[in-house]
Amino acid sequence: MTAKTGKATRILGALALFFVVLGLYWGLVMAPPDAYQGDTQRIMYLHIPSILIAYLSFFIVFVGSCLFLWKRERRDDVLAYAAAEIGVLFTALTIIEGAIWGKPTWGVWWTWDARLTLTAILLLIFIAYLMLRALIEEEDRAAVCGAILGIIGFLDIPLIHMSVYWWRTLHQPPSILRPDKAPWDNIHPAMLVALGLNFVAFVLLYFYLLSRRIRLGERQEELRQRKLYGRR
């Protein structure tokens, strides 16, 4: 990592921390409680950004995997692998947040609702992705198998999004990203600001983590190449 790159990463981390604090303050203090759910609704400011970041992460896995299978360039595999790890983290966080929100709202921590079940399947697919990468010793074969599974796993995301329209579910349809209404028609402006700030915070935090994980992957690849050349 060059000095310039390291400085940019530190700035990104500082911005992420600033927006996390600002987003939490706005969501917990400035935004009003929901008319029906009260303060319980405030977990939305973490729940929605975390699942959107998980979707973004697995989209990057999908793109990186497709590029790797096409060009066989190691940097694409490093990107996909890094994004998969962080995507698992944010998906698990989403499920935990949903359970905390679901208990006072639905009366249960978990139910086999279509959206919840498909999200759990998404998490299991990418846990399997990480296990596959760890268990296959041959690096090139692990990368190819991981890329195929990463592409398949991403196809679950459209099913998750459409599940609330295709099946009768406890999980409500989107309140903000609706084609028939503007976001400010369904949500208080202060709530919308809180959600926006937390989304920006999660995006910055995500790319900070991704940049750090990619650098780690590059170092691991450098060590692997040295070992290969050392054997020759």
Tokens of 92: 């698990």
Q: Quick check: is 66 in a domain?
A: yes
Model pTM? Answer: 0.89
> Is position 190 within any domain?
no
Residue 189 located in a structural domain: no
Residue at 87 is within a domain: yes
Q: Would you say residue 184 lies in a domain?
A: no
Predicted local confidence at residue 18, as pLDDT: 96
Listed in sequence order, the residues at least 6 apart from 141 whose beta carbon sits closer than 8 Å to its beta carbon are none
CA torsion, points 67, 70, 71, 74, in degrees to nearest 10?
50
| Per-residue confidence in pLDDT tens, the chain, 232 aa | 565 677 888 999 999 999 999 999 999 988 888 877 888 888 999 999 999 999 999 999 999 999 999 999 999 999 999 999 999 999 999 999 999 988 888 888 888 889 999 999 999 999 999 999 999 988 889 999 999 999 999 999 999 988 888 877 777 766 665 555 555 556 778 889 999 999 999 999 999 999 999 998 888 878 877 776 655 5
Distance CA 81, CA 65 (A): 9
pLDDT of residue 177: 58
Any domain includes 35 = no
Angstrom distance (rounded) from CA 159 to CA 115: 8
Residue 135 lies in a domain: yes
Place of tokens 């692997």: 224
Tell me whether residue 131 is in a domain.
yes
Please tell me the predicted confidence (pLDDT) of residue 86. Answer: 97
**Cα 159 to chain center, whole Å?**
16
> What pLDDT sits at residue 2?
60
Question: Residue 106 has which token pair?
Answer: 């639905």
| Cα separation values, 155 from 28, 51, 56, 150, Å | 35, 15, 13, 9
Structural domain range at position 215: 8-30+41-172+199-231
Query: For the chain, how many structural domains are there in total?
Result: 1
Beta carbons of 50 and 88 less than 8 angstroms apart = no
